[in-house]
Structure 1
Amino acid sequence: MRKNRIVVTIGCMCASVLIAGTSSINAANKVEIDSAVAGISVAMNNFYAGTANPEVELKDYLKNPVEAASAPTVPQTAAAETGAPETEAQPEEVSPYANIAVSQVGTDEGYVNIRTDANTDAEIVGKIYNNCAATIEETVEREDGTWYKIQSGSVEGYIKADYFVTGDEAEQVAMKIGKSFCEVSEGGLRLRSEANTDSEVIDTLWQGDTYTVVDQEEDFVKLSLGQDDDGNYITGYVAKQYVNTYVKFDKAISLEEEKAKLEEEARLAEEARKAEEELKKAETEAQTERETEKKDTQKATEAEKKTEEETTKKETKAPAAEAPTEAVSNATRSAIVAYAKQFVGGPYVYGGNSLTGGTDCSGFTRGVYSHFGISLPRTSRSQAGAGRQISVGDLQPGDLIFYANGGSIYHVAMYIGGGQIIHAIDEQHGIGISGLNTGRVYCAVSVL
């Protein structure tokens, strides 16, 4: 359920590893990979560079790597008999998972420490959570068992081999936990209803947009734009040469990265707390103003409006009462945005309603507004009818933005000011902040 690219992504203590590939002719020169995972890059580049259907072909390759790697070479003796030039025997290609391990952590904490040396007394440099990928750089035998020296994300260090699966087991786990995505490499890309250039154009995609890959064909990639309110996936096809495909795994997190993440969470929580304090202050001042106005009105009534001057004073005082109302409105908008930002990086779950445990786009907006006593319907389509429609040019922080396909609303986001929106994007990005592309907005609604 996304239409824009994320700006900030913070995972659940495991960051992202991209095993990347591209379908363009010069794919070997365009492989994109997370800069922190060079070990995995080395293992995967030989396979992905130039392959037309990476996810399917990788699975077949892993089943029979020698057969899939290359055709049999001609023996030297046979070449001599036929007069053909002698061919140097090519080494067997190594499976992309030969040096890759996937963590299978069963501890109560949900993670295992990565250390500077192969012993439990060594300094801790990072943590690895369940289903994270790592490159094995070295195997070390100790009295207490086997240790791996691994590289995962920005973290390099040692961890007991007991917490990893490798080889065929790693392949099976990776195929389940790895998700295939693609990034649009050129703007104005047509999304079509079928895998050909003659079919209906159902949307236009922009450079930098990222989507979930549902399937791949010879020249086209089938993408998912998310799910509508009925749970149906909105899908379409784009020409493969204009997108870069990759498989995403999680990786380890260093202590520095974890500290930075916790500090950012604390900062956002403090901003939300202060914003809500300002809201309460504005509401108190507004209530005091209303009570004062009410008393003044009662006094004027009791005096039966003795003079025209008193009546004039009463009439000119009414507009002043609007100021606290506007102050409350502005404080409410600020508080809503600050509260929503705390959940950036949270997981996307279709049909979910938990701001921390997993939610979809409409569950996210509904949950945020509910915190402030504002009730919204459950689906994005219903939420579009819950307030008053406004023009995109009149958007204020806290207003809702809706996206549609063929007139059917399928996604909702919240405007946070500065040309940005916050929303539960999709399974890859979770809850994140994106730039507002006004040309793609179906309608905007204010419920404040």
Structure 2
Amino acid sequence: MIVSNALKHICIATSILMMGSTVAFAADAGQATSSAVNVRKEANTDADVVGKIDKGSEYTVVGQNGDWYQISYEGADAFVSADYFELTKTDAVVTADNVNIRKAPSTSGESVGKLGEGEAVEVTGQSGDWYRISYNGESAYVSKDYISGDLLTKVTAVASEAVETAGQDIENTYGVVTASTGLKLRKEASTISTVLAVLPYGTEVNVDRVGQEWVRVITDGGEKGYVSAEFLSVRKGERTSRFNDSSKGAEVVSYAKQFLGTPYVWGGTNLSKGVDCSGFVYAVMKNFGITLNRSSYDMANNGVAVSKSELQAGDLVFFNGGGNSRISHVGIYMGDGNYIHSTDGAAYGVTITALNSGYSANTYVAARRVVR
């Protein structure tokens, strides 16, 4: 039987090398599926642990031995259980001529190229009846019917970027990051893809493509990538500054003032029965669909920093106990130099205090803008 040169190359590269019962492969790679996964000297649970690996770092896969992957670890071969390790990249070969390469895992996806029989491809994931491949530096998809390889069935399943919603017009569409701890911008539509940047809470980005699980966006710096659709609020119309909505801030203050006199209760979040300082802020902001970290110390990581001279209604203001102590108190700036907060001090309960007087002036630390 005549075999093309490309196919011969693949066959030779993936040939079986006799190393005990280990099958060796060409240019495969993978990563741990959780943290602190044991790397062992031999392919069994009784073997010595030579190190640990965490999800996010890619390792070359040099073989497979039963339910174990043999990887290159710190210059030597070692083994990781397949229960805690997944294949993220493997070589394969095309088995037919004129095979369509598509932008999305669907026969309705736009064709961006063709593959010929015997061509080598790098498969980076599988989605339903499709394999995701690297093509001209971007992700694309090929039907599983036309790809062959030793480890294809083991390559990790990925959430596809999804076909754009039928008829959806994405002109004048932008997105706002809603994840309080920031949102990872990835090179490809996959949780194992390279992280290009972390977009802070409230960041606005231009939307290039909308899918059910992933949205392709373009940052103001011109960087294109994918973010989880779960943590991006997609909006139509002209972009406005996500962190300069003074009218919404005024709404927040008006709502917060309804609860003046609510007693201070440690750990409380009930605006009518009792709240502590962070519980008060947490509950007020939750009413406006803004989810914050629960403690004042952790809440200082939400939103974006704003200087004291640029405070506007709805901004969060933070204080410490004096000296070098950590943040221990938070309130909501009202405008006109005042803030509303819940205190267990002399004023006890939800009250209004001047920002530049006494204790407040001496213990002020920072401000964050979270109003959307």
Q: TM-score, normalised by structure 1?
A: 0.28
Bigger Cα Rg: 1
Bigger RCO of structures 1 and 2 (CA < 8 A, at least 6 apart): 1
TM-score (norm 2): 0.33
Per residue, is there more helix in 1 or in 2? Answer: 1
Greater strand share, structure number? 2
